[in-house]
Amino acid sequence: MEENFGVDAEQFAALVRQRLTDIGEHDAVYDPDEFTIVVGDLQLYLGNIFRETAELPSDERDARIARFVASVRDEDEPEAWPAVRAALRPILRPNGFGLNSPTGDMVALTRPAFPFVDELVAVDRPNSRSIVSTATVADWGVSADEVFAAARENLTAMAGSHGIKEAGVLRFADNGDGYCTSWPLIPGWLTGSGDGTHRPIAFLPEVDTLIITPDTGDLTALFAEVEQLYRNAVRPISPQAYTVDDHGTVIPLDHSPNHRHHALALRARCGLAVTEYDAQTAALNEAVERDFTYPRHKDLAPAFVASVSYVAADTGPRTVTVWGKDVEYLLPEADHIAFCTNQSGEMTTLFETPFAAVAEITGLTPIPGMSPRRYEVRHWPTPETLARLEAASIPR
């Protein structure tokens, strides 16, 4: 197989433009600042495919480019509801997916699947897939529930609902057509998978990788492998482990507090939380600097977009955010909130209280439509409220 010595971004864009020319698209315009190629009304973002093909031999890279470019032709496929219904597929993406996409008509149709992970719907075309937006659903004249139901129905017809019975660790590497990371969304599918004796555990580190293992033995090495896959992924989903409860519902493994690997499950959950809140923080700050407003929240007054920190404690990993005096916040939902004051130029932590207790005592409510969740905080608690928060705090 021919060795690939790599190409830089400019050379890669030239390869894509040449392929477009080969299929008759002679007016493609390359924008090096955005790393996109515009063909008519279609904008092709090159970043993901450039990273995905970076380590491929040149013949495999060229085949991927050919398939990518063929998506231009897919745009001519019919989009009316009766014609498109059979092409719908459910997909999983982290909350941060599409944070920098345009607002308005381009808002993706989403619903929560797991903490920090959403279910979306894709239109599966011969050479590409596109994400269904809320505006598209309105054009189809159907409800969001109908769209999600059709997507899951189509996936069930492809993958079945009984799972895959096999001992040992099952690994699925998708080519983009199988939607393997969506299989756990099919009711009963994960319950029916594995060795038939032990409860199954599933990992979805990136969009084309599904790993299933029986819940037995020492899985420490597998957690480490999944974390690395997630960190290195061009299109990550989650480093978390997922299993099923007594009713067959898919749940994150950290919801099983007595599990032998609960600390590893917490580490994965906290890592996902920090990653998604970091992405949201960056997107919100960039939007305010650029547009002087928050996307999809134009009436929300600017405030400090607080971050989430990972804390490795003897009781297990946790996430912490800061509520400081005399600062207005868009506060994330962390495990704990550290209440802090600025004394002589130094930040001093007064105490740290579990988020659930803070929400109950102060009446925090999430900002509608913001994911991951944030809370608008404009005032420092009153002395009476502060005393109650301290009484509910964890020992220091």
DSSP-derived secondary structure for 38-50: EETTEEEE-HHHH
Residues 385, 294, single domain; the answer is yes
Do 288 and 370 lie in one domain? The reply is yes
CA angle 91, 92, 97 (to 5 degrees): 110
Q: Cα dist. 239→102, 206, 209, 210, 269 in Å?
A: 28, 8, 11, 11, 7
> 199-215: per-residue pLDDT in tens?
999 999 999 999 999 99
Rg (alpha carbons) of the chain, rounded to whole number: 23
Place of tokens 């433009």: 17
Average pLDDT, the chain: 90
Same domain, 93 and 23: no
Residue span of the structural domain in which 178 resides: 170-256
In the listed set 115, 131, 159, which residue is the last one of a domain according to the structure? Answer: 159
Q: How confident is the model at residue 73 (pLDDT cuts 50, 70, 90)?
A: low
Domain count of the fold of the chain = 4
What token pair was written down for 43?
Answer: 């904008």
SS (H, E, C) 141-189: CCCHHHHHHHHHHHHHHHHCCCCCECCCCEEEECCCCCCHHHHHHCCCC
Q: pLDDT per residue over 182-197, tens digit each?
A: 999 999 999 999 999 9
| pTM for this entry | 0.84
Average pLDDT over residues 5-25: 85
Q: Please check whether residue 2 lies inside any domain of the structure.
A: no
**Domain boundary, last residue among 130, 159, 188:** 159
